[in-house]
Structure 1
């Protein structure tokens, strides 16, 4: 409890008091409703109130935000959008094309956003070259979570390539453990497929396939190999996986029922809640074959054109500025398991998983190995993403699916969704 108040005090100490004359209201639509996320929203509320503004929470429960998007569309069409809404990827571009978003360029220039953000991230936040959204964090999706006690009991090392993974997997399975904790849900199938695709295709061809939708790569022999390696994973998942939620799969690794799990860094919160320490009770390592690559997912808020008072406009700009302040970046990401989006952050409060993630994020930003996650809606449109996930999940769960035929099926599905 004492630590909680110390963190809050340190956050508030960063903030200048704003005169009551400039006081406005911010209304933020989001679906950050889990315990860690809710703590961060509460901190943001305090930070805005410290600047003299009032906070109107607009939380809509629902993991992927589908319900929130329905509500947002109704509000926007009726001419009463919120100050900001949780949007990401291509959704930002779509709302920009519809003319609903406001420019944040004045705040961005004042706060030097182009200097503290990766160009890859900054470009996603812009529409027609103008900032219209603010990134809050970066999730790394291509993680492998490992129970080291299981691997030690079997006598295998942490796999660094897909070939090493399958060799270790056979030994783990023979010893009576579940090799791969997995939930039989389409988005989890896609998350697993995505890491295998990154390992087999490499960053350049991954981007061509899932960002550029290059049919030459999609119909290539390399993509056949992606599906073949993906199908091979099925042999190491327990029969009860169907419908299992991702956090239940993580618990299997925590409890020692399973050896490993492919999942984004939001899984770290489950280990932390169980009182486990990284490097000791569990390992966070890159998905086999993707050591220097980084598949990213970004939480962000897009800002809407307002018809309110000048004070509300000032409050909107203060909100945009506050989201990228180091104080909020620190507390939000410590709670969420992700890493700060700022490249100049002091990372001393973060654990080794986050430190490794930040190091790879910076290196990948320069090397071209920073790629958007299609499984988490960052790489392409919602329609194309849905088409890819459907094909991938159906292939994975059909006993007689053929890797040779899968790429052409994927190509047809994508073409129909474009």
Structure 2
């Protein structure tokens, strides 16, 4: 990411300078202002943001909300780049994955090691997660939560009607899908958007290829793994899944696909744990009205998507203190519990009590801890945690091109994906 690619109009620079001057004039010696860029603008996320705000205000600081609507955060990033170029960075911004290192390379992120060392973050986070939060060994971001991506959601009543069971392997998946199809139910609820295609592809790659293959192919982008017979088998399996989706899938939003499972129109969906919020909002009970299970053949693996806040360099000392209090609050047990109960995710902090969480979250937490020890905890390429945004986008496009083509062979798709992985 090169910040100079985002030129500013003079009027914007002038207004940004005026804002900096105004903030400097109003800052007090004892308390600082913490400005936080995020896109937690609805439902439980907004509640969690309010809790974080209250925590900072209790310490005497002023909270300045810099909320930019839009779940993906693309518009927020455009605004942020303009702000940083103008010398008017917020205290913190919602950024994740390799993008954190891209920002750190620009020299604009603050070193949070004094907070992290005092609170022993290294012992509270799995190394594979803490490494993402660091640049050259120094903490430059605070993690908020963990979403598990490799989930299979199922409607047990529909499975019972079809006389089949919720699958734990890919062989069982296709057996169940065939039974659901014969029972007159859409076997797999899917939204034909490239990130949803990629989420399914990633689950297939992990299940068919295993953790070591996943790491080599989709994290290290190793050309030998990407062009292997295993990758060809992954793609063939992936394309078979499409045979059990419906003709109205193209363009469908993920939550509408989840609603199909809730209503019994479809049997199952491969989607991250944000889908659980849709079931709960519909008054459904985990284990009774819906089943949450690891995607086929991935029971001993965990693809993670961790939301985090990058912490930017500030000049005002009071604001720096407020920023450090923010980082501390994000990692506190109180915030980790409250936020994740509202978000549907689980705490990223290890050793948390899970008694207030539902059965799906407890399973997720147990697997998070287990895989952090076994080596099965891996970053999600589909959700911006594994590779550069350029490589991710190129591979994502190649995967969807194969999904949507009636003529492209798996061997041809292997070549396209391998070429896409070379994108810088």
Native 8 Å contact 1:22 1:314 kept in 2:
no
Taking the aligned partners of 1:224 and 1:109, their CA distance within structure 2 comes to: 45
After TM superposition, give the deviation of residue 61 of structure 1 in Å. 1.0
Q: Determine the structure 1 residue equivalent to 2:184.
A: 176
Q: Determine the structure 1 residue equivalent to 2:324.
A: 317
The match for 1:328 among 335, 353, 360 is 335
Q: Determine the structure 2 residue equivalent to 1:4.
A: none
Taking the aligned partners of 1:34 and 1:225, their CA distance within structure 2 comes to: 41
The match for 2:371 among 342, 345, 364 is 364
Taking the aligned partners of 2:291 and 2:41, their CA distance within structure 1 comes to: 27
Q: Determine the structure 1 residue equivalent to 2:419.
A: 412
Q: Which moved more, 1:262-271 or 1:404-413?
A: 404-413
The match for 2:61 among 53, 56, 70 is 53
Taking the aligned partners of 2:137 and 2:413, their CA distance within structure 1 comes to: 38
Q: Secondary structure at the match of 2:248?
A: helix
Q: Determine the structure 2 residue equivalent to 1:163.
A: 171
Q: Determine the structure 2 residue equivalent to 1:111.
A: 119
Native 8 Å contact 1:147 1:259 kept in 2:
yes
The match for 2:349 among 337, 342, 365 is 342
2:49 is the counterpart of 1:41: yes
1:288-307 to structure 2, matched below 5 A, reads 288-307=296-315
Q: Determine the structure 1 residue equivalent to 2:158.
A: 150
Cα deviations across residues 82-110 of structure 1 (Å, max 9, x unaligned)? Answer: 00000111110011110000100000011
Please report the TM-score for the alignment, with normalisation by the length of structure 1: 0.94
Native 8 Å contact 1:126 1:133 kept in 2:
yes
Taking the aligned partners of 1:329 and 1:413, their CA distance within structure 2 comes to: 37
Q: Determine the structure 2 residue equivalent to 1:268.
A: 276
Deviation >2 Å, runs of 4+: none
Q: Secondary structure at the match of 2:63?
A: strand
Cα deviations across residues 113-170 of structure 1 (Å, max 9, x unaligned)? Answer: 1111111111100000000000010000000000000000111011110001001111
Unaligned runs of 5+ in 1: 1-19
Taking the aligned partners of 1:300 and 1:23, their CA distance within structure 2 comes to: 24
Q: Determine the structure 2 residue equivalent to 1:10.
A: none
After TM superposition, give the deviation of residue 196 of structure 1 in Å. 0.2
Q: Determine the structure 2 residue equivalent to 1:86.
A: 94
After TM superposition, give the deviation of residue 307 of structure 1 in Å. 2.1
Q: Determine the structure 2 residue equivalent to 1:74.
A: 82
Q: Determine the structure 2 residue equivalent to 1:195.
A: 203
Please report the TM-score for the alignment, with normalisation by the length of structure 2: 0.93
Taking the aligned partners of 2:292 and 2:344, their CA distance within structure 1 comes to: 12
After TM superposition, give the deviation of residue 241 of structure 1 in Å. 0.7
Report the aligned-residue RMSD. 0.8
Q: Determine the structure 1 residue equivalent to 2:9.
A: none
2:383 is the counterpart of 1:376: yes
